[in-house]
Every structure is written in structure tokens, then in C-alpha cells.
Amino acid sequence: MSEAALLELRDISCLRDGKPIFSHVNITVNQGESASCSRVATLTFAAGDILVLRGKSGSGKTTLLKCIAHLVLYDGEVLYCGSTPKAFGVPSFRTRVLYVPQRPSMLPGTPRDFLTTITALEAHKAHAHALKKDHKPPHDPFARALHISRAWDVDPQLWGREWANLSEPTSALDSASTIAVEKLLLDEIRSSATTLKAMVWITHSDEQGSRIGNKFVQISAGGCVEEPIPLV
């Protein structure tokens, strides 16, 4: 019996104000190397791939990511290791299929308070219990966050300060910070010890896409089409 795909999108369609944003999106991310798939118009990728999702503003790039993470209503099926989010357990599903928004939703308090709150959620407790049951080292999100912040030269005192209300904070990243973020994620997905299996990355920059991606997909109302690596 063949191994279930890591992630599979089957005929995903989504509406906005009663009109289709996109339809018949079929994407498969296999556990191992890419292989042909019998499903019509299915884009097939492998674990370790970084898929760069491109398209015009309003074409549905962010909406598709939210469909993958089971955050918006959609038609079709999203499967993680052969199971739907509901069968897997939606909270647990969202600890494995993560959506990183352009504008993060902030809870009141400090960044330290934020991490304390989210690590107290039942899904994170269940994940910690599973690691203990499998005799794996415990996962410390705060230690991981500190490690990342040190790599980015973030002032440690900021962990104890109240959140600032920022409009489009990612647009303020300078080129050095952008490269640092890219390097961190590329190093993580290439690490033999990583739990990060694949990424879908939205960017309007051909230059950035060519730096970080190895697969490129264009989204439109008709669905998704794989493209060659952009020339920059």
C-alpha cells in the first residue's frame, strides 16, 4: 500500500461575494520524491520543496493558504497524511499545517505573554505529551523564539514590552533583515533534524522567489499552473 501524501488539495474552490476567486485547485506534496499522479490537473511536489505562489493582487493567494490551514470556508478536500482536518482534529491539524500571516494577530500584553498564552492551548499540550510519550526531547517554543531573535539581533528587552500597533510591519524589513529571515527558513527546511516538511511562500518579488523557491505556481480564477523559475 502506497504511503499517503504529506498534503493533498483536491478540487479546492473558494467564493468571494458569490463569485469564484479560484476553482479546481489540485496540489499534492508527497512524503518522498515527486511522482506522477493520476488526478487530472494535479501539481505534484515533494517534501523539502519550497513552492512560491504567485499571482495578481486579489487573485486568491492568501485565501488559498487559509484554505490549506482550514481557516476559511471552501469546497473540496484538504488532506494531511491522508486525513481531513476534522478527522485529524482541527486544533492538532493547525499545529502541523501552519499559516503565517502578513499581519500577525496579537493578544494583549508582551511578546512573552503571547508565547505563554499560546503554549497553554490544548493542542500544544497534546503535542508536548506526544513528544514525551515517544521519548523525544521537549519542545520549548520560548527558547526557540529567543534563539531566532538573537540570530536577528533583536533587543532581548523587547520581550517584556507591550505590543506596538504596526501597519504592514513586513513592509519595513530592510534587505539585510529579509535575507536573515530567508536564511533561517532555508536552513530549517534543509536541516536533517527539522520537522518542517515543505513551505508555500507568497511573494510579488521575482528576485526573492528565485532565491528561496524551487517550484513556482501561478494562481488565477481558473486554478493553478506550474511555471518555470523566473529569470531575474
* Residue 175 within a domain: no
Does the structure show a pLDDT above 70 at 95? yes
* Residue 204 within a domain: yes
Domain containing 35 equals 1-103+194-232
Tell me the mean pLDDT in the region 197-223.
85
Reference 190, options 182, 201, 179, 178; nearest CA is 182
Average pLDDT score, the chain = 79
pTM: 0.70
Contacts 24+ apart (CB under 8 A), 103-111: 103/168, 103/169, 103/170, 106/163, 108/163, 109/162, 109/163, 110/159, 110/160, 110/161, 110/162, 110/163, 111/145, 111/158, 111/159, 111/161, 111/163
Tell me which of 3 and 83 has the higher pLDDT: 83
* Residue 35 within a domain: yes
Tens of pLDDT, residues 74-87: 999 999 989 999 99
Tens of pLDDT, residues 136-177: 777 777 787 888 778 777 777 777 765 544 333 344 577 888
Does the structure show a pLDDT above 70 at 219? yes
* Residue 169 within a domain: no
Does the structure show a pLDDT above 80 at 61? yes
pLDDT at position 104 is 63
Which grid cell is 90? 482541527
Q: CB–CB of 79/8 below 8 Å?
A: yes
pLDDT at position 160 is 75
* Residue 145 within a domain: no
* Residue 81 within a domain: yes
If one counts the domains in the chain, the total is 1
* Residue 24 within a domain: yes
